[in-house]
Amino acid sequence: MARFWLRNRDVTQQLALGKQLAKEYRANHDRIAALVRPLDPDRLLQHPIPGRWSVGEVLEHLTLMDALFLRALEPHLRVARADASAGAREWKPTLIGKGIAGPLQKPKPLKSPKAAVPKTPRAGVREAFLAGDARFAQLLEETTGLDWNRVRLRPPVMPWLPLKMNLGDVFEVHRVHVARHLRQIERAVADLAR
């Protein structure tokens, strides 16, 4: 539903969007956990189709991206000032936020940032991803008193860019990124079952 809001309206009340994002985060998190936890270590690393990422590589990529965003975001959250009326304000995605989230919603293959290209997945990659993903859900809850438009940072995937994204952009990018790779995991698990 948040995708519909963003396509048809550039602004939405922050509190309503936060609730919708939390619901989607939870659903995606639970679905990924249900898909990946039953996989034995060999299946986790098996390439479903030559040239495609294994489920473990997808999880490693997600873990690397989450770490990039969290490392860039958390210092800004520590110094952000609470605002009692922030939840009632309209959140507006930035140009750079739209530029990152938009392509992630399309099925076309994309090139990953160099820092997030998975190599050999770490031991415990399932739980590493799930922990990072849960941190985003926790931040959604913790930031209800912040104005998502005012907390701004350089995009972690393009730190050299002079444009900044806002906190709402970070939450939306996380949502569409996880949803994109959830579909990839679903396809990989189905291919492995054949």
Q: Which domain holds residue 167?
A: 2-193
Mean pLDDT by 10 residues, the chain (194 residues): 44 82 97 97 93 96 98 96 87 96 94 93 97 97 94 95 96 98 97 89
Provide the pLDDT for residue 73. 97
Give the pLDDT confidence score for residue 12 in this predicted structure: 62
Q: Compute how many other C-beta atoms are within 10 angstroms of the C-beta atom of residue 86.
A: 21
Counting the structural domains of the chain, the total is 1
| DSSP three-state, residue 71 | helix
CATH code where residue 56 lies: 1.20.120.450
Per-residue burial over 148-163, b = 16 or more CB atoms within 10 Å of its CB, e = otherwise = bbebbbebbbeeeeee
Structure tokens at 175: 């949502």
Residue 13 β-bridge partners: 90
Q: Which residues contact 1 (CB under 8 A, 6 or more apart)?
A: 20, 24
